Chains A and B, each alone.
Chain A
Amino acid sequence: MSWNNFCSLFKKDCQMMIAGKFFLVAFGSLIIYTLFINFGYVHYMNAELYNVYLYDPQGTQQEVSERIHPVASLEELNAVLSADANGVGIDTSSGTPGIVFYYGSEKSDNHRTDYALSLLHQENEYTAKIVGSNTLESKQRKEMCSELLFIEIIAVGFLGIASVLFKEKQMGAIRVHAVLPFKKGLFIMAKLAVFLLSDLIFTVLMTVLNIGFPDAAAILPAVLVQTAILSLIMALMGFGCTMMLKDFRQFSLAYVIIVIFASAPIFLSANTSVKMAWMDLHPFYHVYMGLKNACFGMPVINPVYYICSVCGIVILFLLAQAVFHREMGKEG
């Protein structure tokens, strides 16, 4: 009996989301993200070590490395350096080599000097030992994929549930539910199920399209677990906020605050070497790292993380149920 109720609620929510063009928006973002990763990010994100230019009119340097670019005059040296401000110039016109370059930062300047000088001597070719399993491209794909997944789930779970619920709230459908003969928890469950399902499908498509099938198949189970945690948290938070706030405009304010202030420090901390001490207290940081590590094939194994996540979801569920009952009572 209760299963039938659940099914009809689920069906109604799906219809509402189709009518609200929700799936269309999600599908559009999927295409944009995929195009961005496959044709933009992977191709343009790379940096080479500095170029070294040698001006050597007397030919004093005999055994220079082939990585050095010779130039014919001092003017040419100045011109290439001002065009390539990270480059390093070596000027041997006075007999001994002198280094010239534009200021970068103190430590990188030390390295630029020593690197340029080392190129004046042929050394044995050395290749650093490789201890990881990713290439640059596969890492960039996984990294961008996890970031976009995180953004999309935060945005979709939160905004999507609001768009559906505010409609029901305004139409008075929530008041109708107060008198319908089914368990009230089912109402929230059905909403969660719709968003969970759509987020999981989105995740599968996103990983397969951007990481490639063989790699994606290996990491997918772990990624789906993390997606489910994040999706449930965001959908429950969206549910609670929708019940408490008056209309969509107020909600959009809460939305901007959550998106900017909750996710900006996470991206800064998780993707650059900037580390902030209070970051460990930020709950979304752990979820994001869980998702990212799962994408890199290193799922979190610490049971504390999962216990905390489940507790968090249960607490959020109870809170959502409480505000839902209050909302029904207010209108009933």
Chain B
Amino acid sequence: MRGLFYQLKSVWKDKFCMMSFFLPIVVALALKFIGGIDLSSVAEFHFGVLESDLSDQTIGWLGRYGSVTAYKTQEELTAAINEPSTYMIGVTSDGGSIQTMVSGDELDLFRQTADTLPALYEGRERAAEISVNILERPDMMAGFQNIFIAITLIVAMFMGCTFNAMNMIAEKENGIDLVNQVLPVTQSGYVIQKIFVGFTGGCLSAVLTACCYFRLQWGSAILMLVLIMLSAFIAALIGLFIGKFSESLMVGVVYIKIVMIIFMAVPLVSYLLAAGGLASVLCYFVPSSAAFEGIMNLAASGNPAIAKDLLILMAHCVIWFLLYLSISKWQKKHT
């Protein structure tokens, strides 16, 4: 028990660990509060026109579709259209009609809009007598926000590996590792302490992150807690591996970076591309895939079915633990 206390104290003093502890919580709070961020100005059209070229009516007509910016010369207009960060469509007058200009590197959406704009201009009177029925659509951002929060939670859960990995590497660098070898600490006691450090860190961070964002029913909350605990346990095991195999802080940071990238990218890519069949089965070899799926299910529905994900996570727990034990045993034999 006393050992555990010292472990936690040394993590508490480690800025790196504290940072990875609070980062997901801050992100969750930010997502909660700027949830309703208005991205509509990014999605609307931008038109560029020449000063005193189009009539006020035409500019008013363009203004119904998006923002209109006026430029003094043709060169300025061309430069603005070619500017790579925007999708501006240039509009000039052509007798009674209009002409459009694009830079040629736009997404098809904007190129097709430019191609069809003169036809819309020709038919602008027709639009008046048409009945328009606009349906309410479910919040588009909600789906995206669930992805963000799921990834944040994944980071929080699996950041647990930072706590014990950093702790072990620091001990190696300071020579405490050598001291430990002559102290009356058993190998299993040492492993349990280290797992405990990573596990509590990951759990606490993930629970706080989840509390900041979700308002769940009791049943879902318990399932979420189980999910978090299983994931944090796997993270602590992975932290043990990283701590064991990295000989310096820099190498440890690189390993953690690689692990986190894989853990974030695999579930995200398989979700966005809606992978099926063999590919989705292969994804489950990365433990965060199951966790991600579970979180998305919990966030999306009131009646979640995540038994499969929990089972996969448990299998991961057992396999990684046995793997660590057998590697330790093998190393002991060969040193």
- Interface, chain A (partner B; CB < 8 A): 20-21, 25, 45-49, 81, 85, 96-105, 107-111, 113-115, 117-118, 121, 123-124, 126-136, 138-139, 142-143, 163, 248-250, 252-253, 256, 270-274, 292, 296
In the assembly, what is the distance between CA of A99 and CA of B126, in Å?
Answer: 13
Nearest-CB distance from A212 to chain B (Å)?
A: 15
In the assembly, what is the distance between CA of A201 and CA of B9, in Å?
Answer: 44
In the assembly, what is the distance between CA of A101 and CA of B133, in Å?
Answer: 7
A250-B15, A273-B46 known; A107 vs B65 contact (CB < 8 Å): yes
Contact A117 B127 (CB under 8 A): yes
In the complex, given contacts A129-B102, A132-B102, A134-B105, what are 18 additional A-B residue pairs having Cβ atoms less than 8 angstroms apart?
Answer: A46-B108, A99-B133, A100-B132, A102-B135, A102-B136, A107-B64, A107-B65, A111-B64, A111-B66, A126-B118, A128-B100, A128-B101, A128-B111, A128-B117, A130-B101, A133-B104, A248-B249, A250-B15
Set of chain B residues within 8 Å of A270, measured between Cβ atoms: 85
Contact A103 B107 (CB under 8 A): no
Contact A105 B114 (CB under 8 A): no
B281 CB–A CB distance under 8 Å? no
Q: Of B43, B86, B104, B109, which is in contact with the most chain A CB atoms at under 10 Å from its CB? A: B104
In the assembly, what is the distance between CA of A143 and CA of B66, in Å?
Answer: 25
A105-B40, A129-B100, A274-B41 known; A99 vs B15 contact (CB < 8 Å): no
In the assembly, what is the distance between CA of A34 and CA of B46, in Å?
Answer: 32
Contact B45 A111 (CB under 8 A): yes
Set of chain A residues within 8 Å of B127, measured between Cβ atoms: 113-114, 117
Contact B134 A109 (CB under 8 A): yes
Contact B109 A98 (CB under 8 A): no
Set of chain B residues within 8 Å of A133, measured between Cβ atoms: 104
B119 CB–A CB distance under 8 Å? yes
In the assembly, what is the distance between CA of A95 and CA of B81, in Å?
Answer: 42
Set of chain B residues within 8 Å of A135, measured between Cβ atoms: 104-105
Set of chain B residues within 8 Å of A126, measured between Cβ atoms: 115-116, 118-119
Contact B133 A132 (CB under 8 A): no
Chain B residues 16-70 with CB under 8 Å of chain A are 16, 19, 40-46, 64-66
Q: Which of B152-160, B250-258, B285-293, B309-317 contacts A (4 or more CB under 8 A)?
A: B250-258
Q: Name B254's contact: one of A25, A134, A248 (CB within 8 Å).
A: A25
Set of chain A residues within 8 Å of B132, measured between Cβ atoms: 98-100, 113
A97-B130, A131-B82 known; A21 vs B123 contact (CB < 8 Å): no
Q: Please give the number of chain B residues whose Cβ is less than 8 angstroms from any Cβ of chain A in the complex.
A: 64
Set of chain A residues within 8 Å of B100, measured between Cβ atoms: 128-129
Chain B residues 265-296 with CB under 8 Å of chain A are none
Set of chain A residues within 8 Å of B183, measured between Cβ atoms: none
Set of chain B residues within 8 Å of A114, measured between Cβ atoms: 65, 120, 123-124, 127
In the assembly, what is the distance between CA of A97 and CA of B135, in Å?
Answer: 17
- Interface, chain B (partner A; CB < 8 A): 14-16, 19, 40-46, 64-66, 78, 81-82, 84-86, 89-90, 99-109, 111-120, 122-124, 126-127, 129-137, 140, 248-251, 253-254
Q: Name B135's contact: one of A100, A105, A271 (CB within 8 Å).
A: A100
Question: Which residue of chain B has its CB nearest to the CB of A88?
Answer: B132
Nearest-CB distance from A23 to chain B (Å)?
A: 12
Q: Name A129's contact: one of B43, B101, B137, B248 (CB within 8 Å).
A: B101
Contact A131 B103 (CB under 8 A): yes
Set of chain A residues within 8 Å of B65, measured between Cβ atoms: 107-108, 110-111, 114
Contact A21 B105 (CB under 8 A): no
Q: Name B103's contact: one of A113, A124, A132, A252 (CB within 8 Å).
A: A132
Contact A249 B14 (CB under 8 A): yes
> 9 closest A-B pairs (Cβ-Cβ)?
A132-B103, A139-B105, A128-B114, A102-B137, A134-B105, A49-B112, A123-B119, A130-B104, A128-B100
Set of chain B residues within 8 Å of A121, measured between Cβ atoms: 119, 123
A128-B101, A249-B15 known; A46 vs B130 contact (CB < 8 Å): no
In the assembly, what is the distance between CA of A313 and CA of B251, in Å?
Answer: 30
Nearest-CB distance from B227 to chain A (Å)?
A: 28
In the assembly, what is the distance between CA of A103 and CA of B45, in Å?
Answer: 16
Question: Which residue of chain A has its CB nearest to the CB of B102?
Answer: A128
What would be 20 A-B contacts, judged by CB atoms less than 8 Å apart?
Answer: A47-B108, A49-B109, A98-B130, A101-B133, A103-B134, A104-B137, A108-B66, A109-B134, A110-B65, A117-B123, A118-B116, A123-B119, A129-B99, A132-B103, A134-B84, A248-B249, A248-B250, A252-B15, A252-B19, A274-B42
Set of chain A residues within 8 Å of B122, measured between Cβ atoms: 123
